[in-house]
Amino acid sequence: MSRTVGPAAMLRHVVQGRRDVERIYSTPELVAKLRRLADALEQDKPFRIQIAGERFQVPVRAQFSVEHERGEQHEEVEFQFTWSLDPADVDAHDAPVV
């Protein structure tokens, strides 16, 4: 497993082609992404997002969850979309980029 902290404030975990990236955004960047995401969700459309240099599509069938973790030294809230990979999914290049 490789873990690096780059100049763009991101954490990467790469194991045999799998990707686990956490990107830290400024408040204005996050607000813009959340607005575009909310628009896509309200329109019941897939959306494309770019995180740490990779652009991909989140399908309409994705499930949304909110997770809260509390430890002795910190708390964390994660907003998460999950979906199974389906070769029938077509990347809608006209989907909003979040």
Residue 86 binned pLDDT confidence (cut-offs 50, 70, 90): confident
Please give the span between the terminal C-alpha atoms of the chain, in angstroms, as a whole number. 29
Quick one: which of 31, 84, 92, 11 has its CA closest to 56?
A: 92
Q: Is residue 48, in this structure, part of any structural domain at all?
A: yes
Number of domains in the chain: 1
Q: Judge contact between 92 and 55, C-beta under 8 A.
A: no
Q: How much is the pTM?
A: 0.64
Burial of 2 from C-beta contacts in 10 A (0-12 / 13-18 / 19+): exposed
Q: Which of 4-8, 11-15, 28-32, 67-71 has the lowest mean pLDDT?
A: 4-8
Is 13 contained in some domain?
A: no
Is residue 9 assigned to a domain?
no
Q: What is the domain range of residue 33?
A: 25-98
Kindly state whether residue 95 falls inside one of the protein's structural domains.
yes
Tell me the pLDDT tens digit for each residue of 17-67.
Answer: 688 888 888 999 999 989 999 999 999 999 898 888 888 899 999 999 999
For residue 82, being part of any structural domain is answered with yes
Residue 79 falls inside a structural domain: yes
